[in-house]
Copies of this chain bind each other. A is one copy, B any other.
Amino acid sequence: MGKALEFLQQEQVNRAACGEAMHQLMTTLHPICRSITGDGVRQSLAILQQHIPLTIHEVPTGTAVFDWTVPKEWNIRDAYVKNARGEKVIDFQQSNLHILNYSTPIAAQMPFAALKQHLFSLPDQPHSIPYRTSYYRESWGFCLAHETLLKLEEGAQEEGDYEVYIDATLTDGHLTYGELILPGESEETVLISCHCCHPALCNDNLSGMALSTYLAKALIEQQAVRQQRYTYRFLFIPGTIGSITWLALHEAEVEKIKHGLVVACVGDEGSLTYKKSRRGDAEIDRAVLHALAQRQQPYEVLDFSPFGYDERQYCSPGFNLPVGSLTRTPHGRFPQYHTSDDNLTFVTPAALGDSLATYLAVVDLLERNHYYCNLKPKGEPQLGKRNLYSAFGGKKDAKASEMAMLWVLNFSDGSHSLLDIAEKSGYGFQLIAEVASILEEHDLLARMPDGR
């Protein structure tokens, strides 16, 4: 039983309970209007600090980060559109998706024709409010269900001017992100990164924020028992500009990142999907694929592509970090994506718990995936005299554990990791790692130093 997996059992926290807790956290975060900067992010990170000791960083507007510049900080208090009768026909207080994210302030009267240039809807999904942004071009707008737009259009002829009101500020300030470093035996780091900039969208990406929080909690609890091998670095950052900012400010530390995962869309009921790192055969890629295969449930594997979440920054050619992304249904593949339908009912505690368990299995695999050296490499060592092998010969079948021992002994030649041996043998990593421990205790194997 691996260290990380022990967590779920030791703490008597089963997947369902963990899933419920994550869903509860998402419910708390849901009403807050997040963006790539501003108080929404700060409030959200403050809530996460009730669970894990996040450090909050503030990067000033105007800071040059590679080809980008940290933008002005956006804050919004209220926004609505009123018809001539003074009725709020679009109201930010009802859904923070109604505002074009990063809208500039406005207080004006205008006819429907002028207003309409600033309205966004989805004709193909008439009941859903779309999520749209205008981070890097100053603009204002409202998003609304297409059916609402149609109703406004119908009534527009008899109506007079509309009152448009956005009480927002776009001023010099800061970009805010949260970071948690859990030091391990080694400075070699596992990066866990999630974007925290989306407002009332649950799968994308309150689910990623919740899973990252509970994954960190689990590792903290384990660390109380035993030091981890790797240092873990959790990032809660705004998408794109956040990872670019972090990379620009931490260039010297980037080389410590040995494995990484971008966490997003981990709450829907679809099957798990792994998008490989740009390298395609990094240890993280193979670790996740092995963990997925061991689950005996359907899953999908995608090659790297330069779209998606912050893996596109971590895997940009100047860094090319071994960072993949483990999601359930990937971005853009579910109709609720970037609409008001990506809500608290679209994500389930069961799916969240299942995702977390898989992340923990991956972490456990990384922690224990060492190279070993067979100390008796010439012929097989005599397992029988160590009581590691059946006393009576000639039996038709051997035990899985005995066969796994022979696999580990035969391939522990310094060039095969335990994961390599698991893959070669067809046995699960858990069994392979278990018998390696036993063989190590009997002085038949020696663990090779990391970072060879």
Q: A137-B384, A407-B306 are in contact. Are A378 and B131 (CB under 8 A)?
A: no
Q: How far is the CA of A385 from the CA of B68 in the complex (A)?
A: 9
Q: A392-B132, A394-B130 are in contact. Are A67 and B376 (CB under 8 A)?
A: yes
Name which of A19-27, A260-268, A315-323 contacts chain B: A315-323
A337's nearest neighbour on chain B, judged by CB, is B396
How many residues of chain A are within 8 Å of chain B by beta carbon?
A: 64
Residues 379-411 of chain A, each 1 if its beta carbon lies under 8 Å from chain B, else 0? 111101100000111111110000100110111
**Chain B residues with Cβ under 8 A from A332's Cβ?**
396-397
Q: Does A15 contact B (CB under 8 A)?
A: no
Query: Is the Cβ of B135 less than 8 Å from the Cβ of A380?
Result: no
**Chain B residues with Cβ under 8 A from A66's Cβ?**
376, 378-379, 381
Q: Does A104 contact B (CB under 8 A)?
A: no
In terms of DSSP, what is the predominant structure of the interface of chain A?
Answer: loop
Q: How far is the CA of A355 from the CA of B243 in the complex (A)?
A: 49
A406's contact among B135, B307, B378, by CB below 8 Å, is which?
A: B307
Query: Is the Cβ of A247 less than 8 Å from the Cβ of B379?
Result: yes
Copies of this chain, complex-wide, total 3
Query: Is the Cβ of A316 less than 8 Å from the Cβ of B407?
Result: no
Q: Does A205 contact B (CB under 8 A)?
A: no
Q: Does A134 contact B (CB under 8 A)?
A: yes
Query: Is the Cβ of B243 less than 8 Å from the Cβ of A393?
Result: no
Q: Does A248 contact B (CB under 8 A)?
A: yes
Query: Is the Cβ of B313 less than 8 Å from the Cβ of A379?
Result: yes
Q: How far is the CA of A388 from the CA of B376 in the complex (A)?
A: 57
Q: How far is the CA of A248 from the CA of B382 in the complex (A)?
A: 14
Interface residues of A in 155-183 (CB under 8 A from B): none
**Chain B residues with Cβ under 8 A from A392's Cβ?**
100, 120, 132-134, 137, 139
**Chain B residues with Cβ under 8 A from A407's Cβ?**
305-306
Query: Is the Cβ of A394 less than 8 Å from the Cβ of B317?
Result: no
**Chain B residues with Cβ under 8 A from A101's Cβ?**
393-394
A393's contact among B133, B313, B320, B337, by CB below 8 Å, is which?
A: B133
Q: Give me the 7 closest cross-chain CB pairs, A-B, nearest first.
A: A318-B377, A318-B378, A317-B413, A133-B393, A306-B410, A306-B406, A244-B379
Given A133-B394, A306-B407, A312-B380, output 17 extra A-B contacts at Cβ < 8 Å: A65-B379, A66-B381, A67-B380, A100-B392, A132-B392, A132-B395, A134-B392, A136-B382, A137-B384, A137-B392, A278-B410, A306-B411, A316-B410, A317-B374, A317-B413, A318-B379, A337-B396
Q: Which A residues fall within an 8 A CB radius of B?
A: 65-68, 100-101, 120, 130-137, 139, 240, 243-244, 247-248, 251, 278, 305-307, 312-313, 315-320, 332, 337-338, 374, 376-382, 384-385, 391-398, 403, 406-407, 409-413, 425
